[in-house]
Structure 1
């Protein structure tokens, strides 16, 4: 049935994510360009929306672009050494002024009311303060970096206390020392160290790029730190993207569950990344966001949801919940963000030295990739581990897929006796066989 309100379907599909994000801690880095022009108001509204949906929000903002323009307009040419700016007194005055202006702008945009927005009347407390402690970069190669600093410690208990009071915590790229000094910090480092200190559920880096692309120009939606580093080394990504990738990988290795790289140039990117299954940017995870693994009893509901449409069409033999529970150790699944999107089973006939490859299914929305190959490869490895030398499959609809993967026509009479007794002549399934390739 067509609907006059297509957003309604999107809203229904986003509801699992609304529930999953509630009470979670997100640290979001916003580069200064995202807070200028038309992008500013929609981004602030989306951040406010996350807050009203129950996300515990820490917002870190950068000022590099604004500071560079302000320095140019005043004729100040800062000194650089080893690609780092020396922050002398006159430069620090500009840094502090631009940070103050941008912080006030953010607080004003998040102030109660948000006129002319869908969140009119909402009261949001945006709180900043001396929440990041710093130390000076010091003197290197004889060069005194003066007010340039590094993050020493994030006051995580104080930030958690503010989040528990339902405040949005706003962190500028400034740090404070125990001697009362103020230091200029790298905003990306502030975001990274804050996410690590809070054991944040997500670190989101909003930059110019939508994420990392492979050699063919395709967006990489999910990577481990190792994969991201390898791709970044081989790409000609911008300096900002390289920096964000570095920060994302460091955060992942230090315990942050998921780091997202999305573009502020796409006004829908933040919500699209957080409230759709596939997202719109690049995500760096400690573990694979999509993984092939052994099935568990808690996967039964997902298996039933995956199999029942095919059972209803007669493509698969009906499997009851009880049967799946009894045979769960035979199954492997592909899990994507908590959803079972593929499965396959290996029913071993050890006495005959062979196994049945059964129930190879990939969700309709995730076909066209190599997931069938991944399932087959996992089944082959398990079969070899069990000492089996041959696979067979019974199918009424997908013989072409098996032929493409090296199976050949077999005969019912060649099936193991136990399986031959349960063969249903009314289904008249084709028997396909394949010798297992030697382990590589």
Structure 2
């Protein structure tokens, strides 16, 4: 029997409580590759998904079957053929796809039916519903290539899916669709998942994939994973990359994440199935794992211009008056306005922060982080912080620090750690106000 340590378990459980409240009743479309199932990860993943289901999330699960179809074709002595990153589905391949889908559906339903004592599935009741929710059309002939029975999603019966998940069922979709004349079409898991997420206006679209996410430097396979990409940045990456030909290409899943966010899905994720519990890590930890693409309407999150000086002054003045912020003169803000990041909604600045680099110490100070009381609790502070971190990384800096007298816990929750004021760069230490006794907190960026 495992030992529970209250001094670690209780704080951890309380720390995830905000996520439990935030996600209850939300709709997630989760797509798993056939490679994940072939790697023997299905049971552990189903246990994690069942936990989310028990917490009140509404879940649609879409499975892929690329390696399983390849295996069926090899057994039949038939060669797998692909073009434009898509399978050419001739009659033999269609047979193989139907057999693979039937087998995988059986395995997935069996996994959700487990209930052994002393496992995460004990006392779990997950009812799996599947059916002909997808109407499809043929891909047709592209650049002279006849894709035969390969198809694209024409329509998702989102009303029927919504009714099923609203009564507590988990909907399972295979990558198959049918035409009004009864023809079967082999679809891609990515197309099915994206189309379903858009049709449902899901809160999240999650791809469990063979790639770890999008790297900060795509040309360096050892560079860190970019845990959050604004939609505008994701679009720029796609425009700079060649068209993806296979699932391990960086742009392969990113193109579907972008499409989903462009059509109303606020957040889409690329997660590595190789990391145990990656779905739980993404949902219940602040930084998550893999890459999240966010539709933040970035026209409202930007670097400041001289026209913003008045709005910044109006925003920070009440916090200067009550002592939360150090007072700054208008001339100082005018001089440093390019250091500021602002959030603007309908022409009004609701949040700001400034970044002052100390290149010789490989660090930078984030100052004047402020969010209007009218917008607090909506995540604007975190969005500004993330933008400031990206700016600092782009400068090649290793850390960001803040000086605060009242908001220490907010920063600690977001990865900052307290240090002695002697840690400060020499130039900043000379300006440190020992009477104010501000706490110094640092966040490492690499």
TM over 0.5: yes
Q: How does 1:427-438 map to 2 (within 5 A)?
A: 427=435
Counterpart among 273, 286, 300 of residue 264 in structure 1: 273
- Taking structure 1 as reference, are residues 11 and 213 closer, same or farther at Cα in structure 2, changes over 3 Å only? same
Q: Is the 8 A contact 1:112 1:121 kept in 2?
A: no
Q: Displacement of 1:87 after TM fit?
A: 1.0
- Taking structure 1 as reference, are residues 38 and 142 closer, same or farther at Cα in structure 2, changes over 3 Å only? closer
Q: Is the 8 A contact 2:351 2:381 kept in 1?
A: no
Distance 1:253 1:117 in 2: 40
Q: Displacement of 1:257 after TM fit?
A: 0.7
Distance 2:45 2:415 in 1: 34
Counterpart among 283, 288, 310 of residue 279 in structure 1: 288
Q: Is the 8 A contact 1:195 1:203 kept in 2?
A: yes
Distance 1:126 1:134 in 2: 22
| Corresponding residue for residue 128 of structure 2 | 126
Counterpart among 216, 225, 230 of residue 231 in structure 2: 225
**Greater Rg by CA:** 1
Query: Where does the alignment leave 5 or more consecutive residues of structure 2 unmatched?
Result: 328-348, 353-369, 386-402, 439-446
- Taking structure 1 as reference, are residues 336 and 279 closer, same or farther at Cα in structure 2, changes over 3 Å only? farther
Counterpart among 67, 70, 85 of residue 69 in structure 2: 67
Q: Displacement of 1:77 after TM fit?
A: 1.4
- Taking structure 1 as reference, are residues 281 and 336 closer, same or farther at Cα in structure 2, changes over 3 Å only? farther
- Taking structure 1 as reference, are residues 248 and 112 closer, same or farther at Cα in structure 2, changes over 3 Å only? same
Distance 2:88 2:292 in 1: 33
Query: Where does the alignment leave 5 or more consecutive residues of structure 1 unmatched?
Result: 318-328, 344-357, 370-396, 410-424, 431-440
Q: Displacement of 1:118 after TM fit?
A: 2.2
Q: Is the 8 A contact 1:112 1:123 kept in 2?
A: no
- Taking structure 1 as reference, are residues 429 and 84 closer, same or farther at Cα in structure 2, changes over 3 Å only? closer
Distance 1:50 1:428 in 2: 46
Q: Is the 8 A contact 2:238 2:255 kept in 1?
A: no
Helix, strand or coil at the partner of 2:214: coil
| Corresponding residue for residue 55 of structure 1 | 57
Q: Is the 8 A contact 1:66 1:98 kept in 2?
A: yes
Q: Are 1:247 and 2:253 counterparts? A: no
Q: How does 1:150-165 map to 2 (within 5 A)?
A: 150-165=152-167
Distance 1:398 1:146 in 2: 70
Distance 1:272 1:23 in 2: 19
Helix, strand or coil at the partner of 1:259: strand
Q: Displacement of 1:280 after TM fit?
A: 1.4
| Corresponding residue for residue 16 of structure 2 | 14
Q: Displacement of 1:72 after TM fit?
A: 1.8
Q: Deviations over 1:353-412 (max 9, x none)?
A: xxxxx979775435779xxxxxxxxxxxxxxxxxxxxxxxxxxx799679559x989xxx
- Taking structure 1 as reference, are residues 48 and 402 closer, same or farther at Cα in structure 2, changes over 3 Å only? same
Helix, strand or coil at the partner of 1:45: helix
Distance 2:350 2:62 in 1: 48
- Further displaced range: 209-218 or 229-238: 229-238
| Corresponding residue for residue 193 of structure 2 | 191
Q: How does 1:60-209 map to 2 (within 5 A)?
A: 60-111=62-113, 113=115, 117-209=119-211
Distance 1:151 1:364 in 2: 45
- Taking structure 1 as reference, are residues 113 and 135 closer, same or farther at Cα in structure 2, changes over 3 Å only? same
Say what the alpha-carbon RMSD is for the aligned residues.
Answer: 4.3
Q: Displacement of 1:165 after TM fit?
A: 1.3
| Corresponding residue for residue 213 of structure 2 | 211
Distance 2:41 2:179 in 1: 34
Q: How does 1:369-388 map to 2 (within 5 A)?
A: none
Q: Is the 8 A contact 2:351 2:380 kept in 1?
A: no
| Corresponding residue for residue 351 of structure 1 | none
Q: Displacement of 1:239 after TM fit?
A: 3.6
Q: Is the 8 A contact 2:42 2:111 kept in 1?
A: no
Q: Displacement of 1:34 after TM fit?
A: 1.4
- Taking structure 1 as reference, are residues 113 and 429 closer, same or farther at Cα in structure 2, changes over 3 Å only? closer
